[in-house]
Amino acid sequence: MFLHNTKLCRLASGLAGGVRHLSGQKPKTAILMLNMGGPTHTDQVHDYLLRIMTDRDMIQLPVQSRLGPWIAQRRTPEVQKKYKEIGGGSPILKWTELQGQLMCEQLDRISPETAPHKHYVGFRYVNPLTENTLAEIENDKPERVVLFSQYPQYSCATSGSSFNSIFTHYRSNDLPSDIKWSIIDRWGTHPLLIKTFAQRIRDELAKFVETKRNDVVILFTAHSLPLKAVNRGDAYPSEIGASVHMVMQELGQTNPYSLAWQSKVGPLPWLAPATDDAIKGYVKQGLKNFILVPIAFVNEHIETLHELDIEYCDELAKEVGVEEIRRAAAPNDHPLFIDALTNVVADHLKSQQAVNPKFLMRCPMCSNPKCRESKSWYRQLCSN
């Protein structure tokens, strides 16, 4: 059995040094890259989990103010062990810093009228926390701030939580009156993003012997979502499906493919099939060669380096009799992906649309009062 070389992934992650825009010039355009983040050291794991388990946009629990901290405390040792197994911490900050630096270098060249550009990182659950980064941006006094979600496909639990946290911050802090704000909330079908995923898949397909290549199952995998959220009308499953469809079109429909869902938490029903169940099911059908494609993640982190590489590509594959399994690398610093980031922002800066009308809509069955208030606030913010 052949496995994806996870050591190479980790080495690349470690080399992706985080460097900020070094120009002494005041930035004209600030680009705040929003994501959930990940602990860079194991001693950050508890607080990271605590913020997740007490965020009602991400997960809803009964008596959450008490149950959330209990779950975080209980899960900390297990999650710390996983981070130790991938090198001691998440590389998501290093990748995001590198992506932002390369993006801004390109933007300074192709969009001099909005330069200098400076990227900032705003994580939801670990430093640099979004609210602290907002203070840094205010101190730099840019003319414009672009809130750029690093989740290409929108979900209320991920992108929505990050945007709601900005609303919550400014509900109790003064909003700068001299900054123009705009939002990039989803970009999961951008042609260059699609080309990036397709190239990552081609790179792995080429490693299979020619006699097997056309029969390799391309198994797209994305973070799962509770069916309760899906039934409220969360757009995430359809946007993931759109990304998958576009990638397969780019590949020319060369291989059998499917979509599965990973990282379910708790006993309630979530999107199915689970990624591990899909692998087991296909092996039973006689399909034993796979490429796993993390279609919703733009950089390596625990769910690629541990869940996919270790738990599925190594442990599960041996257990169920997989012949060969590989995992497509996340976009990371692939030149096509840096071009994608750059083009998404450049097109946004040139457009007259500060916010996508879809972003201002709530789910049809939304019951979250914060969402109602947040959407109203963003409508006003982006009209100034």
Say if 6 falls within a structural domain: no
- Distance from chain centroid for Cα 114: 26
Does residue 111 share a domain with residue 45? yes
Helix (H, G, I), strand (E, B) or coil at 191: helix
Say if 302 falls within a structural domain: yes
d(CA 15, CA 94): 8
Say if 118 falls within a structural domain: yes
Say if 5 falls within a structural domain: no
At 266, the pLDDT band (50, 70, 90 cuts) reads: confident
Say if 114 falls within a structural domain: yes
At 121, the pLDDT band (50, 70, 90 cuts) reads: very high
What's the average model confidence in pLDDT over 92-96? 98
Question: What CATH number does the domain containing 51 carry?
Answer: 3.40.50.1400
Does residue 181 share a domain with residue 264? no
Structure tokens at 159: 């992108």
Say if 7 falls within a structural domain: no
- Of the candidates 190, 223, 301, 306, the residue annotated as catalytic is 190
Structure tokens at 202: 């081609």
Does residue 208 share a domain with residue 194? yes
Domain boundary pick from 290, 311, 327: 327
pLDDT 10s digits, 225-254: 999 999 999 999 999 999 999 999 999 988
Res. 100: pLDDT tops 50: yes
Instruction: Tell if the pTM clears 0.85, that is, is over it.
Output: yes
Q: Residue 14: what pLDDT? A: 40
Structure tokens at 293: 């494609």
Does residue 173 share a domain with residue 53? yes
At 4, the pLDDT band (50, 70, 90 cuts) reads: very low
Does residue 343 share a domain with residue 316? no
Does residue 339 share a domain with residue 311? no
Does residue 73 share a domain with residue 53? yes
Domain boundary pick from 305, 327, 349: 327
Say if 23 falls within a structural domain: yes
Q: Are 53 and 59 in contact (CB under 8 A)?
A: yes
- Catalytic (active site) residue 231: no
d(CA 252, CA 239): 20
Other beta carbons within 10 angstroms of residue 260's beta carbon come to 21
Does residue 283 share a domain with residue 207? yes
- Of the candidates 35, 164, 299, 343, the residue annotated as catalytic is 343
pLDDT 10s digits, 177-192: 999 999 999 999 999 9
Range of the domain at 266: 189-327
Does residue 193 share a domain with residue 183? no
d(CA 39, CA 229): 26
Does residue 256 share a domain with residue 344? no
Does residue 350 share a domain with residue 310? no
In 225-368, which ranges are continuous DSSP H helix?
A: 227-232, 236-251, 275-284, 302, 317-320, 335-350
Domain count across the chain: 2
Res. 5: pLDDT tops 70: no
Does residue 26 share a domain with residue 138? yes
Say if 93 falls within a structural domain: yes
- Catalytic (active site) residue 164: no
Average pLDDT in the chain: 94
Residue 153 is given by DSSP the state S
